[in-house]
Every structure is written in structure tokens, then in C-alpha cells.
Amino acid sequence: MALKNILVHVTETRQSELRLETAVALCVAHDAHLTGLIVRAMPVLPAYSVGPIPDMVLEPFEAQQDAAIAKARETFDTVVKHAGWTDRSSCLQTEGNATDIVGIHARYADLTVTGQDMPDEDQWEISTVDLILRSGRPVLVTPHGTENKPIGKRIVIAWNASREAARAVADAVPLLETADSVEILTVAPQSRGEVPGVNIAKHLAHHGIAAEVKRLGVSETDAGEALLNYIENNNADLLVMGAYGHSRLREFVFGGTTRHVLRTMTIPVLMSH
């Protein structure tokens, strides 16, 4: 599957501007259309409140939202114009719960670009965990930071032979095909196939992707930290991994490795579930 339609969640924040620049760079590299999505938040009152929202509460909130939306749209227009991508982009604006709306629109895109969760972020930023689980499509999560760096030249795949990992690798093929190096990294895996990671390497070879298989001999509980340490020590610029949730009844509870990576990541992570 080629990347021909990329969605990016746009807000007024500096982090949004950085992820927008990442999304535009991917569109230019893959000759893809860019869709920006701006979501206007709806005021939320406590459950015990009765009656309409008072004007003294509603008016400041609406003014704040007006300013945020205007800033977000200005940022979108500026970034795509600077990249010469105005004719290959569009910007949508809607209102409601950002996570729900971005999740729905993500189903009609090849890739959605969003940002790492920020605990102190305004409430109209999305929940990355929920978006990955709800969208049914690959999500590229960009880390906090003050500058962007090129991505997709040195890619590490976190491989555990799970359904989620297989889905992530399949979704990442357009990026893997253009990478300078691809490494398949296994951490304390179960024995599946000849050697952990060899079978997926053979599969990628059919796509013309030469991947090197490596193993980190650490315990599963240390997998997240081991992954991030390896990435830092080897100058990787993109991590591909499946988003794994242990609980079927409460699917928003992610496995420890996924949670740790999302919380402490320093490079973009492409996740699928």
C-alpha cells in the first residue's frame, strides 16, 4: 500500500506545528495528499449541572476556541505554502470530541500523524492511546521536541511475532522501502519459526527490503527501556511496533512496553493495532 493520503491533527500549539511539518515532509516524499483536521472543542459541564451553559462560562470559552482555531488554520496554511504543497492539501474543521473525530477520519487515510500525549495539554488535544485503538489504521506518533529531524532513513522494527506487530510492519512497508537501513529487533521473544525475526525478514525481502535481524537478551519487563536505549545508541529515526493491549474488557489498558514507549519516546513511532 502506497502512502497517498495522510491525515494530520492540527491545533494551535507548537507541537502541532512540528507534527504538521513532519506530515508535509512525508507527503512530499511519497507524493501524497495532505488533509489537516481541526477540531473545535465543545464545552463540558460537570454531570451534576442542570440547565443550559451560562453565558459567563460560554463566552470566554468560545472566544478561546475562536483564537485557537484561527491560529491552527494559519499555521496549516503557512506550513503547506512554505513546502509548496497548497494544491495537494486540504483543511477540514469540525467540532466535538477530538479523539473520536480524528479516529473516524483516520479510517479514510493511509496514515494519521499525531503527537505524543502531554499530561498538561489542553483538553482538546487527543488521546494517542485511544486513537491508535479506535482508528483501525496506522498512526505516526511524533515526540515532544523543539525541532524536527528527517525520519525514515534508519528504521527499527520492534518484533514479537504478534498480530499487532505484523500489522504494523505491513502498514510501514512504504516507509521501509525507502529507508537506508532496516533492523528487526526482538526482545526475549518466544520461539516462532527458525529464529525470531527471520521469517518477517524473509517476507520483507520479497518487497526488496533488506532487513538485519538482531536480538536483545533482556527480560520482557525491561523491553520498553531496552528498545529506547537501542534506538538512542544506534541513531535510529523511526520505530515501528504493534500497539498491544493486554485486556480485552478494557482495551485501553496497553501492555507495559507500549505504554513505556509512548510515554518516553524521543523519535517518531509508527504504531498499529
Q: What's the order of all strands across the beta sheet hosting 238-242?
A: 89-95, 33-40, 5-9, 111-115, 139-142, 269-272, 238-242, 154-158, 181-187, 211-216
79 and 103 belong to one structural domain: yes
10 and 106 belong to one structural domain: yes
Residue 49: per-residue pLDDT: 54
> Is the model's pLDDT at 46 over the cut of 60?
no
Lowest mean pLDDT among 149-153, 167-171, 185-189, 250-254: 250-254
The whole-chain average pLDDT of the chain stands at: 85
CA atoms within 13 A on the CB side of 270: 30
In a domain, 149, yes or no: no
The secondary structure of residue 245, as a DSSP letter, is B
Residue 257: per-residue pLDDT: 74
Residue 253: per-residue pLDDT: 36
> Is the model's pLDDT at 39 over the cut of 50?
yes
Rg value, the chain, Cα:
20
Domain span at 90: 5-142
Task: Write the burial class of residue 181 (CB in 10 Å: 0-12 exposed, 13-18 middle, 19+ buried).
Answer: middle
Between these two residues, 42 and 99, which has the higher pLDDT value? 99
158 and 111 belong to one structural domain: no
137 and 229 belong to one structural domain: no
Q: What is the pLDDT of residues 9-18, one digit of tens each?
A: 999 988 899 9
- Cα–Cα distances in angstroms (integers) from residue 166 to residues 34, 53, 90, 172, 248, in the given order: 26, 48, 32, 10, 19
Residue 265: per-residue pLDDT: 87
> Is the model's pLDDT at 56 over the cut of 50?
yes
- What are the DSSP calls for 96-128, one per residue? S-HHHHHHHHHTTSSEEEEE---TTS-TTS--H
> Is the model's pLDDT at 119 over the cut of 70?
no
How many residues are listed for the chain in this entry? 273
Q: What is the pLDDT of residues 213-254, one digit of tens each?
A: 998 876 555 777 888 889 989 999 999 999 875 444 333 333
Lowest mean pLDDT among 77-86, 124-133, 149-158, 161-170: 124-133
Band (133; pLDDT cuts 50, 70, 90): confident
Largest CA distance in the chain: 67
CA atoms within 13 A on the CB side of 111: 30
In a domain, 254, yes or no: yes
Of 5, 72, 9, the C-alpha closest to 32 is 5
Q: Which of 89, 117, 142 is the last residue of a domain?
A: 142
**CATH assignment of the domain containing 136:** 3.40.50.620
